[in-house]
Chain A
Amino acid sequence: MAENIGELSRRGILRLSALAGAGLAVGACDVGGSGKGDGGGQGTGEGKITALFMKQAGYSEDDINAMTAEFQKAYPKITVEPSFVAYEALHDKIVAAAPAGTFDVVLIDVIWPAEFGSKRIVTDVSDQFPASWKTGMLGGALSTASYHNRYYGVPWILDTKYLFYNTDMLARAGVDPASLSTWDGVLAAARALKDKNVVELPLVWSWKQAEALVCDYTQLVGAFGGKFLSDDGKSVAFNSGGGLRALEFMKQTLDAKLSNPNSMESLEEDVRKIFSDGQAAMALNWTYMFNAANDPQQSKIAGKVGVATTPAGTSGGPGVNGSMALSVSSGSKNQKAAWTYVSYMTSAGVQNKYAKSSLPCWSTSYDDSQVVAALPQVVPVAKKQLASLIERPQVPRYNEISLILQAELQNALLGKKTPQKALDDAAGAGRSLLS
């Protein structure tokens, strides 16, 4: 036995070290420097390109395949091979594929341009961005792919959270939907619904420890005139003023039993289900909930769904920007062709045609009859809402800040810390991530 133990301590360590050394030698090759992320090239503007999309996001797979087929008819020298992955996989796939340059065009979320742009995972396309686009696109859309005043993609899928309400329940409680234009009005309505026993917990939110929580918080920060960062972007500002007021508001609705406590484990999909089952009267959610809640197969309240712009607090009522953009990946060897494809897919003509799946980014589209006919109830509300959107902080290390914020917001909402302490702790941890 002693021999075996000795075996490990002497020769074992020798052998393991040899193995490790071999691995080290092989692995060390890449850290020495062979250029960062600019393995791509403009290409000839023709040939085959690959594109990475999301499944069931705004546009369906069929929509995108149809758009791509039309593109290939218009530009016969370029062939496109689209791939579709779940949203959860999108970020990781883009990062993993970056050094290998697998994809020429990628779909990115609004919270990624800072991260991807600063690490040169996607190409800066500001020079190709026509000035006409800057005026033609909705104001809220333009900020989707911008970072430090440069554009890293073209806005494509526009989305924000609207206030949805159950028309039937509101009628029974004698609440006028117009009063829902402010958060005070919403609270009053909730109290009325509760007092008249129409519904026990009128409000439901997506406050699970995930990005969804930050989205809701962001919307409220905007409503109460708060800011995430100082104007110079160098320090944190959400632990005072509007940022603090927003969190206190969230906690108050929970304490007053106006908000469903199960919001703490709910994502947007749970909000939709609870709302569609008639167990909540009002909720914030993305555009998709409108069709889903009106589908008799999925919802008990089909036909009784109202949609309004998000309520205003002491300040305006901006919606959280939950859009997505199409970008050219920096490792692409065919960036010219990729840009042609991106320009086509984001053009007004294409977007108007598929407006039923996802609302367009261009202001003129909202007066287009095709678009209005696609979603007649939502389009007028969208036109107002999408003009005013609030961003989550566009900093390279946003993901880490978000993780810290999610944890602390949950701490406050679960009563483990006071809102002030939670936000101060988040600010303290987040400060070092801003540099």
Chain B
Amino acid sequence: MTAAQTSRPAPVSAGRGAHPPASRRPRARRVKLGQVRLALLLLLPAAVVVFGVVLYPAGRALVISFYAVDSPFPGTYPFVGLRNYTEVLADRRLWTAVEHTFYFTAVSTALELVLGLGLAKLLAAPLRMRWLFRAVVVLPWALPTIVNGAMWRWILNAQYGVANALLTTLHLQDGYRSWLGTDPFLALNMVVVADVWKNTSLVAFFLLAGLQTIPQDLYEAARVDGAGPIRSFFRITVPLLLPSIALVLVLRTIEAFKVFDIVYVMTGGGPASGTQTVTFFTYLQAFSAQRFSVGAALAYLTVLTILALALLYLRLLRQAELSAP
């Protein structure tokens, strides 16, 4: 993570990696303390904005996960320790939801990353009418998720959807088929399609910003050295883009784990619970059933899982970053 470094690894190019001169060291302690104070000050707005809002609800959720709270009112509830956690971990429906979530997260994040990378390069490329292309690329990202879900549900409708109509007219399929109604796995994949269609643009724009930090002269130097476009892509672009890739990976993973709106609108969790993800399951427990403690336990289990995944990514990408030549 670049945040921990103030400059890029030296071997990549000249003039980018100088460290502070030795003469600074005697004053290091005083400078460091001043830096800590300044850092706290600068981070204060963000801390207030985020933790000011989240701390009490998150704290309360954590606390009630150890009690048996089944109504929204404050009151006396029995303390049950880890029972909510063990109960929810023993529920087979949770594990099915976990399977679906992992599949959804892995496939949609991978697709979004790969397609987003290509799209980012395209956004930076010298196209004619670039402004129009960029506007077009923002469109799916700008479409509200609930409309996106309703739209795909409409397009894929088994009885009168345009996908069926188109494919049948073009003789690519024999007759109308059900995309969201009978085959749970197919339905899950369709939710992936809807999600990737919308969110690849987000990934592309973040990666585009990351691409902007790579100086063009690196590519020039590589070309002079005889490297083709593919080689320079893998040797220059990807390594220098790792911080952005890491950010995008973690961001999309978190959001894929938290995915709710699109499932809610497109399939409602069906068919045969085939598109139920962990967050949807949490919604059903925490709200529909008013079992708030179980919902809170689920939420923290989700957080732990995502955190583990995020740390894993960062560890892997950090290692990849260091081993790049």
- Do A and B contact each other directly (Cβ–Cβ < 8 Å)? yes
Residues of A within 8 A of B (CB): 1, 4, 19-20, 22-28, 30-37, 91-92, 95-96, 98-99, 115, 119-121, 208-210, 260-262, 264-266, 270, 273-274, 277, 279, 397, 399-400, 403, 406-407, 410-411, 414, 416
- The docked-state distance in angstroms from the alpha carbon of A163 to that of B16 is 77
**Contacts A20-B62, A27-B62, A30-B60; A96 near B72 (Cβ below 8 A):** yes
How far apart are B36's CB and chain A's nearest CB, in angstroms? 13
Number of B residues, CB within 8 Å of A: 46
Query: Which residues of chain A are near B159, meaning CB under 8 Å?
Result: 260, 262, 266, 270, 273-274, 279
Query: Which residues of chain A are near B271, meaning CB under 8 Å?
Result: 208-209, 264-265, 410, 414
Interface segment out of the listed B38-46, B123-131, B235-243, B284-292 = B284-292
Query: Which of A26, A95, A265 contacts B59, CB < 8 Å?
Result: A26
**Contacts A208-B270, A261-B182, A262-B178; A23 near B72 (Cβ below 8 A):** no
- The docked-state distance in angstroms from the alpha carbon of A20 to that of B58 is 9
Would you call B69 an interface residue if the criterion is a C-beta within 8 Å of the partner chain's C-beta atoms?
A: yes
**Contacts A262-B181, A400-B289; A23 near B158 (Cβ below 8 A):** no
Would you call B302 an interface residue if the criterion is a C-beta within 8 Å of the partner chain's C-beta atoms?
A: no
Query: Which residues of chain A are near B322, meaning CB under 8 Å?
Result: 1
Q: Are A407 and B63 in contact (CB under 8 A)?
A: no
Q: Are B178 and A95 in contact (CB under 8 A)?
A: no
Q: Are B59 and A23 in contact (CB under 8 A)?
A: yes
Q: Are B272 and A411 in contact (CB under 8 A)?
A: yes
CB contact list, B255-298 vs A, under 8 A? 267-273, 284, 287-291
How far apart are B103's CB and chain A's nearest CB, in angstroms? 19
Would you call B70 an interface residue if the criterion is a C-beta within 8 Å of the partner chain's C-beta atoms?
A: yes
Query: Which of A23, A99, A119 contacts B70, CB < 8 Å?
Result: A119
Most buried by A among B4, B71, B73: B73
Q: Are A273 and B270 in contact (CB under 8 A)?
A: no
Query: Which residues of chain B are near A274, meaning CB under 8 Å?
Result: 159-160
Q: Are A28 and B272 in contact (CB under 8 A)?
A: no
Query: Which residues of chain A are near B64, meaning CB under 8 Å?
Result: 27, 31
Query: Which residues of chain B are near A34, meaning CB under 8 Å?
Result: 74-75
How far apart are B98's CB and chain A's nearest CB, in angstroms? 16
Q: Are B178 and A99 in contact (CB under 8 A)?
A: no
Most buried by B among A35, A37, A209: A209
CB contact list, B65-110 vs A, under 8 A? 67, 69-77, 93
Q: Are A33 and B75 in contact (CB under 8 A)?
A: yes
Query: Which residues of chain A are near B290, meaning CB under 8 Å?
Result: 95, 115, 119, 399
Q: Are B72 and A99 in contact (CB under 8 A)?
A: yes
Q: Are B76 and A26 in contact (CB under 8 A)?
A: no
Query: Which of B60, B72, B181, B270 contacts A210, CB < 8 Å?
Result: B270
Most buried by A among B55, B61, B93: B55
How far apart are A365's CB and chain B's nearest CB, in angstroms? 34
A interface, over-half SS? helix
**Contacts A20-B62, A34-B74; A416 near B268 (Cβ below 8 A):** no
Most buried by A among B93, B267, B272: B272
Q: Are A36 and B75 in contact (CB under 8 A)?
A: yes
- The docked-state distance in angstroms from the alpha carbon of A22 to that of B54 is 12
Would you call B180 an interface residue if the criterion is a C-beta within 8 Å of the partner chain's C-beta atoms?
A: yes
Query: Which residues of chain A are near B180, meaning CB under 8 Å?
Result: 265
How far apart are B165's CB and chain A's nearest CB, in angstroms? 13
How far apart are A8's CB and chain B's nearest CB, in angstroms? 8
How far apart are B101's CB and chain A's nearest CB, in angstroms? 17
- The docked-state distance in angstroms from the alpha carbon of A416 to that of B184 is 11
Q: Are A30 and B74 in contact (CB under 8 A)?
A: yes
**Contacts A26-B55, A262-B158, A262-B181; A31 near B63 (Cβ below 8 A):** yes
- The docked-state distance in angstroms from the alpha carbon of A181 to that of B176 is 33
Query: Which residues of chain A are near B77, meaning CB under 8 Å?
Result: 31
- The docked-state distance in angstroms from the alpha carbon of A26 to that of B57 is 9
- Return the chain B residue nearest A398 by Cβ: B289
Query: Which residues of chain A are near B291, meaning CB under 8 Å?
Result: 400
- The docked-state distance in angstroms from the alpha carbon of A34 to that of B288 is 24
- The docked-state distance in angstroms from the alpha carbon of A79 to that of B20 is 70
Most buried by B among A91, A96, A119, A403: A403
How far apart are B260's CB and chain A's nearest CB, in angstroms? 12
22 A-B pairs with C-beta separation under 8 A: A23-B56, A26-B59, A26-B60, A27-B56, A27-B62, A28-B60, A31-B67, A36-B76, A98-B71, A98-B72, A99-B72, A119-B73, A121-B71, A209-B272, A209-B273, A210-B268, A261-B178, A265-B182, A266-B181, A399-B284, A400-B291, A406-B270
How far apart are B108's CB and chain A's nearest CB, in angstroms? 22
Query: Which residues of chain A are near B62, meaning CB under 8 Å?
Result: 20, 23-24, 27
Q: Are B71 and A36 in contact (CB under 8 A)?
A: yes
How far apart are B228's CB and chain A's nearest CB, in angstroms? 33
Query: Which residues of chain A are near B284, meaning CB under 8 Å?
Result: 399, 403
Query: Which residues of chain B are near A397, meaning CB under 8 Å?
Result: 289
Query: Which of A31, A92, A209, A265 contacts B158, CB < 8 Å?
Result: A265
- The docked-state distance in angstroms from the alpha carbon of A347 to that of B153 is 41
Q: Are A264 and B178 in contact (CB under 8 A)?
A: yes
Q: Apart from A23-B56, A35-B73, A37-B71, what are 16 other A-B pairs with CB-CB below 8 Å?
A: A19-B55, A20-B59, A26-B59, A36-B73, A91-B287, A92-B287, A96-B72, A119-B72, A262-B178, A264-B178, A265-B157, A265-B182, A266-B181, A277-B160, A403-B289, A416-B272
